[in-house]
Amino acid sequence: MAVAEPPGVQVTTTLDDPTAPVIHLAGELDLASVESVKEGIARHLAGAPVRITFDLEKLTFMDSSGIALLVQVSNDVGQVSLINVSPIVHRVLEATGLLEHFGLAP
Amino acid sequence: MIVRRSFEPSEVSVGAARRFVAGTITDVAVGVAESVSVMVSELSTNALIHAVGGFEVIVDRSDHHVLVSVHDQGDGTPELQSPDASEPHGRGLRIVDALSDQWGISSTADAGKSVWFRLALDSPGTGAPTDGTTRVSAGRTSVGTGPGQARPATSPGAPGSAASGTPASRHRPARPRRVHPSTSVAPLVASVP
């Protein structure tokens, strides 16, 4: 179910469990698209989830603007996990010391 | 090969800058190209957020390296930060520091600044070894802007020599290369704290 299709990033969700949604990001997440993504995931934050999983399989690019968004969500929700992380995103998260924060192995 | 392009002060310029630089290194290893794209994105984003107006991207591409400089008119000085896990912002230069072989900040003659990075193309996946050697010893990166703090670059245009010995530049590996003088990525002066 597409909830937002800004240029660059699509946000879809798997709502098996409203308290722990899986949000799929696709496209390029940077300064130009981060606000649209924020809007796209806002309603899931409104449901007071205890955990959010971001599936990054189809995310072709992410920089620190995207990391900032993930950290903000993490601050709001408490637990954010990332799955299907590409090698470059893994390296960037490693460089910024956030691997464990997002449930990733070093 | 040296190419340059100016970008509008718009958020979409970040992606445009990435694609511009990517177009100059289409033949390199995927890992290198991805690292360059992330770093271009970080420097372009910084230029848009902290500076006034648009920015210019200069790419110096040889068989052995790519050197990218992002030039803006902002008077702020980017600093290498170490935000904790709950702080959303402040990771841009940290990422550039980790993914590049060398980077630095240079004052420019037009009162703006250039933030640049260099990445060797010799070996795939270069630039970010995962053994911890990418850590920075300097706690912060800054350049002085006072008149007494600037000194002429010993070799204008070569960022390695221009910023040599200053915290604004990191060297990894210490492998000096001759850079074409017209690169102008470290124009005229290199500031020291």
pLDDT at B116: 97
The parts of chain A modelled with pLDDT lower than 70 are: 1-8, 15-16
Residue type, position B188, single letter: L
pTM: 0.77
Determine, for residues B86 and A8 on separate chains, whether the beta-carbon distance falls below 8 Å. Answer: no
Regarding predicted confidence, which is higher, B106 or B160? Answer: B106
**Sheet holding A9-14: strands in order across?**
A2-4, A9-14, A22-29, A52-62, A80-83
Chain A CB contacts of B88 under 8 Å are 67-69, 71-72, 75
- What does the alpha-carbon distance between residue B30 and residue B27 come to, in Å, rounded to a whole number? 9
The tokens for B111 are 């009162």
Mean pLDDT across chain B: 73
pLDDT at B119: 97
- Find out whether A55 and A23 touch, Cβ atoms under 8 Å: yes
Q: Scanning the structure block, which residue is given the tokens 């969700």?
A: A13
Would you tell me which residues 85-144 of chain B have a C-beta closer than 8 angstroms to some C-beta of chain A? 85-89, 91-92, 94-95, 97-99, 128, 130, 134
Determine, for residues B15 and A30 on separate chains, whether the beta-carbon distance falls below 8 Å. Answer: yes
A101 touches chain B (CB under 8 A): yes
Q: Tell me, what DSSP letter sits at residue B129?
A: -
B45 touches chain A (CB under 8 A): yes
Count CB neighbours of B89 within 10 A.
Answer: 14
Question: What is the nearest CA distance from B109 to chain A, expressed in angstroms?
Answer: 29
| DSSP E strands, chain B | 2-7, 55-61, 65-72, 102-107, 113-120, 150-152, 189-191
Question: What is the nearest CA distance from B19 to chain A, expressed in angstroms?
Answer: 12
B66-82: pLDDT as tens digits:
999 999 998 778 889 99
Q: Tell me, what DSSP letter sits at residue B11?
A: T
Q: Which residues of B12-27 are buried (b: 16+ CB within 10 A; e: fewer)?
A: ebbbbbbebbbebbee
B81-90: pLDDT as tens digits:
999 999 999 9
pLDDT at A46: 84
Please report, rounded to a whole number, the percentage of residues in chain B having pLDDT higher than 90. 54
pLDDT above 80 (res B141) = no
Determine, for residues B88 and A30 on separate chains, whether the beta-carbon distance falls below 8 Å. Answer: no
Regarding predicted confidence, which is higher, B112 or B58? Answer: B58
Count CB neighbours of B174 within 10 A.
Answer: 8
pLDDT at A15: 66
| pLDDT tier, B167 (very low <50, low <70, confident <90, very high otherwise) | very low
